[in-house]
Amino acid sequence: MGRHAVREGRFTRRGADLVYDDAGSGPLAVYAHGGLVSPAVEDRMGLFDWLPLLDAGRRLVRYDARAHGRSTGEPVDTDYAYASLADDLLSLLDHLGTAEPVDAMGASMGCGTVLHAAVRAPDRFSRLVLLVPPTAWATRGAYARANRASADAIEREGADEWWAARRNEPRPAAVAGVPVFPPTPAERVLPSVLRGLALSDLPPPAEIAALRRPALVLAWADDPGHPLSTAEALAGSLPYAGLHVSRTRADIRTWGERVAEFLTRPSPPAP
For 22, list phi and psi in degrees, rounded to 5. -125, 120
C-alpha triplet 232, 234, 238: angle, nearest 5°: 125
Fold of 6-263: Rossmann fold (3.40.50)
Q: Which DSSP state fits 132?
A: S
- Give the start-to-end residue ranges of the domains of the chain: 6-263
**Nearest by Cα to 17 from 63, 52, 54, 51:** 63
Point out which residues pair with 128 in neighbouring strands: 104, 215
Task: State the DSSP H helix or E strand holding residue 102, giving kind and residue range, or none if neither.
Answer: strand 102-107
Q: pLDDT (tens digit, 0 to 9) for every residue of the chain, 271 residues total? A: 668 999 999 999 999 999 999 999 999 999 999 999 999 999 999 989 999 999 999 999 999 999 999 999 999 999 999 999 999 999 999 999 998 999 999 999 999 999 999 999 999 999 999 999 999 999 999 999 999 999 999 999 999 999 998 888 889 999 998 999 999 999 999 999 999 999 999 999 999 999 999 999 999 999 999 999 999 999 999 999 999 999 999 999 999 999 999 999 886 555 5
